[in-house]
């Protein structure tokens, strides 16, 4: 077999490198100025930082019916569905380290999480009630 010749390397350290040109300069647009920390603090909070998304009371129940024998924890809301049930479900799944979903206005958590979810809601100032 014939040996391949080595190709030359591109010098990226030099000032005339094509890698130093920004995409904005290539497109003919100006670069956006960098934002300072003071400007970032004045921005509106995102949907995850909204206050008042937690309900006043929740009902925690253990269910196995219709789930192939698997135990799940259902979180129902006494005073209607909260403002952001998807966000609340995500916070709860993340805090408890389990899977789950939103079904018919209820949060369904995988496994027997009643005690842990009760402690999480109590720490957030929500009164948990244990059902069946």
- Residue 100 and residue 98: Cα distance in Å, rounded? 7
Give ∠ CA 110-115-116 in degrees, rounded to 5: 65
What's the predicted TM-score (pTM) here? Answer: 0.58
1-27 pLDDT, tens digit each? 677 787 777 665 655 555 566 666 667
Please report, for the chain, the start and end positions of each structural domain, with discontinuous segments joined by +.
55-130
DSSP state at residue 91: H
- pLDDT tens by residue, 88-102: 899 999 999 999 999
Q: Which residue has the tokens 């259902």?
A: 74
Domain 55-130 carries which CATH code?
3.30.780.10
Give residue 58's region: left, alpha or beta (phi > 0; psi -120 to 50). beta
Q: Please count the residues of the chain.
A: 132
């Amino acid at each position: 077999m014939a040996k391949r010749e080595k190709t030359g390397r591109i010098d990226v350290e030099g000032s005339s490198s094509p890698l130093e040109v920004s995409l904005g300069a290539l497109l003919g647009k100006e670069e956006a100025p960098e934002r300072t920390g003071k400007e970032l603090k004045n921005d509106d909070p995102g949907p995850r930082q909204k206050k008042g998304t937690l309900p006043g009371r929740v009902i925690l129940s253990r269910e196995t019916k219709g789930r192939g024998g698997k135990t799940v924890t259902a979180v129902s809301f006494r005073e209607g569905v909260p403002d952001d049930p998807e966000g609340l479900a995500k916070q709860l799944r993340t805090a408890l380290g389990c899977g789950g979903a939103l079904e018919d206005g209820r949060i369904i958590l995988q496994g027997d999480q009643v005690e842990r979810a009760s402690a999480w809601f109590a720490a957030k100032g929500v009164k948990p009630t244990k059902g069946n």
